[in-house]
Every structure is written in structure tokens, then in C-alpha cells.
Amino acid sequence: MATDELMRKALEALGDDGPPSVEAIQRLTDLGGVHEPMMINEVADLLDISPHTLRYYERAGLVEVARDGNGHRLYDADAVRRLVFLTRMRLAGMPMRDLQHYITLVEAGKHTVPERLDMLIEHRDTIRRRIRELALSLTAVEYKIATYGGWTGPDVQDLDTAVPREP
């Protein structure tokens, strides 16, 4: 798969305007019902990551995967759902370390829910900060693009930092 199927669906579902809705995200977490266990390549295609990376995640303790009679990996629905979650968190910039810790908590049982919530809240705040940073950079770049288009100053190099005469 050339592009990230989940993300493509996600962006389609969200449309091009307005903030993402909870309804939209719900659709994203629905994998479409009951699944046969999947082979590594199917999962890799679904998540748009390499089989190598999937094995790496397993080695890292992020997910347990059963084997068939030939020793080939069989990803059941739980494993796939967890990997959807994990890849989404990775995409959002959560480090492997944190994911490993989070999974440790999940496997330790319900009593770790508060700590998991703490992690999620911190991650949420990290994402928000990152979005704000990017929004700022975006505005800077857009301004720069606009300036390049209409500028007639003395030295082109100044454009890299110049303050415009008019907004």
C-alpha cells in the first residue's frame, strides 16, 4: 500500500474543514467486524509499516502475536487493534519508550488506569503544543511565500527575515 490506508480513511472521514468530531473518530476505530487472524504482510499493508517494523514492535514487547503451524505470525483482532493504536500514537510522536511503558501498564491490569490516563493526558498536551508550534511555523512559511511573491526590496536574501511594509 502506497499511502497510509487508515490515515486516508481518516482524512476522508473528517473532511477538509472543521475540527475532527468524535463521531468521525469512532468510525476510525471500527475495523469492520470480526476478523480472521492476519498474516504479517496483511497487517503491514493495513498499517502501512514494514513487516520488519512489526517484528521489531513485537521484539520491543509492544504486542504478543501467536504463530501458526509453520511458525508464521497470526495477528488476531486484538493484536491488530492494539497495533492500530500503537501506530497512531507513534504517528503522533509518542516515543517507543513511552509506548512500552504504557503497554506494561495495560498488561498489569485495571489498577493502572489512573497512570495510563496520566500518560494519555500528557501526550494529549504534547500533541496540542506541537500543533501550536506547527501552526506558528505554517503561518511563518505562508507569510514568507506571500512575501516572495510580491516583494521588491533591495536584497532578496533579506526576504528570509524581513518584516513587510504592509500586512
Compute the least distance from the CB of residue 138 to its own copies, in Å.
5
26 lies in the binding site for DNA (CB under 7 A): no
92 lies in the binding site for its own copies (CB under 8 A): yes
Q: Which is nearer to DNA, 33 or 69 (CB)?
A: 69
Indicate the SS3 state at residue 74.
strand
Q: How many CB atoms within 10 Å of residue 126?
A: 14
* Residue 39 · residue 72 · CB < 8 Å: yes
Instruction: Report residue 33 CA to chain centroid gap.
Output: 22
73 binds, among its own copies, DNA, none (CB under 5 to 8 A by kind): DNA
User: Which residues are 75's β-sheet partners?
Assistant: 38
110 lies in the binding site for its own copies (CB under 8 A): yes
Compute the least distance from the CB of residue 87 to DNA, in Å.
8
Residues 49-68 that bind DNA (CB under 7 A): 49-53, 55-56, 67
* Residue 1 · residue 48 · CB < 8 Å: yes
Q: How many CB atoms within 10 Å of residue 102?
A: 21
Q: Under 8 Å CB-to-CB from 83, ≥6 apart: which residues? A: 43, 47, 54, 57, 62, 63, 75
Kindly list the residues in this chain that would bind its own copies in the complex (CB under 8 A).
7, 10-11, 14, 19-26, 28-30, 78, 81-82, 84-85, 88-89, 91-93, 106, 109-110, 113, 116-117, 120-121, 123-124, 127-128, 130-146, 148-149, 156-157, 160-164, 167
